Chain A
Amino acid sequence: MTESQKTAASQDAKMEVEKDRNRAALRKTFYGRIIRSIVVGFWVMVIAFSLMRLSPGDPVRLALGADVTEEAVEAFRTQLGLDKPFYVQFWDYFSGIFRGDLGYSYFSGRDVTEILGTHLPVTLGIIGLSILFAALISLPLALWVATSKSNTVNYLFRALTSISLAIPGFFLALLGLLVFGVYFNIAPAAGYEGAFPGNLKYLWLPALANCGSLVPVLSRVLHSSLVDTLDEEFVETGIIRGVRKSRFYWSYLLRPSLAPTVVLLSYMVGVMIGGTVIMETIFSLPGIGRELITAVDGRDYPVVQSIAMIFGLIVVFFSFIGDLTGYLLDRRVTLS
């Protein structure tokens, strides 16, 4: 064995150790994230459960209205299990979640699980479409501004994203309805169709209105990490080597810059849910957000409580996924 072979072998061994260490670190952060998500998810359930118990009035009396007999109130209370001690109630509620039992509506008597099953897909559809639109707008926009040398472009980008963030989604949606629904007559103001390609006709405008707050945030973060990436030496190397354009944009620019945007996108899911609740009310879409507003109007507490909890758990889930994807895209990201 020559000297050079020996060093090569020892270097290989070193690399193996390094890889093992990386894998161990990855596994550790992965498990750490899972445990943290479970703890936060547990708090989400506790908070949602406490909502009804923190209410200053008696929720049962409020739900039934003023003119009911004392017996009716008591019977309803027993039926809901609200007469039992606090910890028993919590256990019933908590174990119910894992059995898929989220209680039932005070009024329609429907299972909350059933309500979620029928209406959640619409809400997730709007959110998914919003993310798709936002990505399609933000990626080229951020690339164009980051690679542009013009000060005016940069200045306009900053000013317009600031303005866009300050415009409320519901006002934007109404303006969109005025322009696309009334003036151009290409978007329906209300109605829905369950099947996949048909429903896009009803979902595209709400999703586009959601982009008003999503695009500025995403494109700004992407823009700033692109600017950082452009300073890196490997970008220059890519230019000098004359790498193919598509490969240059993806491998040299976007991929190293994407991690913060992906992490942020997962955090934005919460904001998007809030926006979608409003969009569903404006466009009369049968999503979970409209169910929430109906339930709040009718003081249908179990429904309000469960919808809030589900939305909280969705956010916890997506921030977990987002952190992990961000980590896999760019190992330099540290999970906090």
Chain B
Amino acid sequence: MSTQATHAQQAVVDKAIEIEILRYRPEQDEKPFLQLFEIPYHPDMSILEALQYIKDHLDSSISFRWSCRMAICGSCGLMVNNIPKLGCKAFLRDYYPQKVTLEALANFPIERDLVVVMDDFIKKLEEITPYIIPANDDKCLSEGTYQQTPEQMEKYAKFSMCINCGLCYSACPQYGLDKNFIGPAALALLARYNRDSRDAGSAERMKIVNQEQGVWSCTFVGYCSVVCPKGVDPAAAIQLLKVESSKDYLIGMFKPD
């Protein structure tokens, strides 16, 4: 490596960026407070790596969730300058030289620092029977698998890409105002199963959809689809379920059962 290149690298290393983190330590704090850190700036450094740098070199008490570092586990969701993002998929270069403010995912209770309580979200995912309910339960394994054409798969493929990171719940003011709302990810997952040609559980799931707290709590803000790191488009899933729910209502008027 030439001397010039080394100097150029050194110059990048010498730059610093300010990271402000909303801290909350339940055993000693009454409420969260902001703490400022300054770390060396690298254009290829992710927010998650910045947090790891802080934990390794500046304050080991800071808590945050992470696992895969490649936007597939859905663990490192947090608010970056008030916008829900995955820490591993957001980079310092998009904020430098401005200060970056990190906060635990909005709309969820803070467990500690950047860690949130996700129990309500998980409960909602479980509620919608997120598995295929076959029409013929007695089908024997020896009769073979359920076949599906690429067209039939296309109908739900997008809605099956969810990694349960919770960013859409943080982006949803309706969930923020009413925690009883089933919410974007759970409803997208519900649509994923209702739209699957191998599934016969739609009627059961429509009972959840048709409730006030089902799709009808959604006012189509649409921010869930903007923040989704996997392009799931929960807003579209919910609007399509609204159409199904309206059909259900109309059919029910003429054919009550």
Q: Do A and B truly interact?
A: no
Residues of B whose CB lies within 8 Å of any CB of A are none
